[in-house]
Structure 1
């Protein structure tokens, strides 16, 4: 194959890839503009189950875009000493939800019918504050990445020592939650659909 033919072939592949990406973006925008399911809003009282799960009466809510340590999970601090990071995450979420006018809202459910929610308390996003405190990890490609980077740089929460990713802990402990495991991909899609990155 001559150099010119190889160059034309690579050029066509690039054009095809750009076209596919452009069409995918159009599909995402169309899906976003085609309407949203009705949002459900909760104003409490909230019961905190763990660092990323709440209950309102019989209804289970899971904070979207984050993954907190499991309740029985321990992490290592800066001196390599174990500390109960799962309990610390639940306590942090309890404090945040005890703020003024807590409210959670969402319009999607996971495979276990838990509503995926974003919560606000004291006028601030609870999901983002959990990540900023270092007691939860961002699951999407875009949302809460700035908060996670800040926590990591400042060695807050989990980042002050070493820890096992909650997903790895669940896998090792036989607590796999397929809905949570797949959320990273879907959260990234929701990030794109939100158009907040544009």
Structure 2
């Protein structure tokens, strides 16, 4: 796509008049029309920003902060849960905090009707939404309050206050100093990119059922997944690229 800002400015011998150059007595409708257009434009922007999407149904869990509701993939708003391959620190040793977060999410959603409402999508096309059930008014808030997810303050400060109690009580992810998932992803990506094909570390696997599933460096089965190009498997440089090619992330 050509960026018009990169094109040279064209010189013209025609001096186009500005609206302000017209005399109000000669064109009295011009100013009224301009004002009306501005009001209309503001109204359209307001309507578009207020629009929201709602998806309702049973949930299929991808990880601690991502679910499928029907045909819609939803990223739970305002939180970041441990990645599936991530382990959290204890005063002595480690524990599977990702499994705990997924288990808590499953306990809230399995067998329930899940309602998710959002007005924004991430770069992968996932709906970013607040999700609830009849029993749980805000799934993301409960995960943070239970010490099983971080408030994702890079994108929203809404749940930051909910971190205070589990942190003070040293429960869940706060039992010892643990690398937050955004730092964990960055480290795993950097390491995998150094040893992967052409610096593209995402593995595009095709399972026994013929399903195309990609594994990012922080996925639980990343290490044991082997790519066989002869079977149509391949490497990807980003999750967006994998999704565009028809691969999906693994479920829990």
> What's the TM-score bracket when you normalise by the shorter of the two chains?
0.5 to 0.7
Provide the C-alpha distance between the structure 1 equivalents of 2:176 and 2:111, rounded to a whole number of angstroms: 28
Gaps of 5+ in 1: 1-29, 180-198
| Residue in structure 1 matching 2:144, options 131, 149, 155 | 131
SS at match of 1:43: strand
Q: Does 1:146 align with 2:158?
A: no
| Residue in structure 1 matching 2:173, options 158, 164, 184 | 158
| Residue in structure 1 matching 2:120, options 91, 104, 108 | 108
Deviation at 1:100, TM superposition (A): 5.1
CA contact (8 A) 2:58 2:112 kept: no
Deviation at 1:166, TM superposition (A): 0.3
Taking the TM superposition and a 5 Å limit, the aligned residue runs for 1:68-83 are: 68-78=81-91, 80-83=92-95
TM-score by length of 1: 0.67
Alpha-carbon RMSD across the aligned residues, in angstroms, is 2.5
Deviation at 1:169, TM superposition (A): 0.8
State the aligned residue count: 148
Taking the TM superposition and a 5 Å limit, the aligned residue runs for 1:8-87 are: 34-35=46-47, 36-78=49-91, 80-87=92-99
Bigger helix share: 1
Q: Could you say which residue in structure 2 is the equivalent of 1:5?
A: none
Q: Could you say which residue in structure 2 is the equivalent of 1:25?
A: none
Provide the C-alpha distance between the structure 1 equivalents of 2:239 and 2:168, rounded to a whole number of angstroms: 30
Deviation at 1:59, TM superposition (A): 2.1
Q: Could you say which residue in structure 2 is the equivalent of 1:191?
A: none
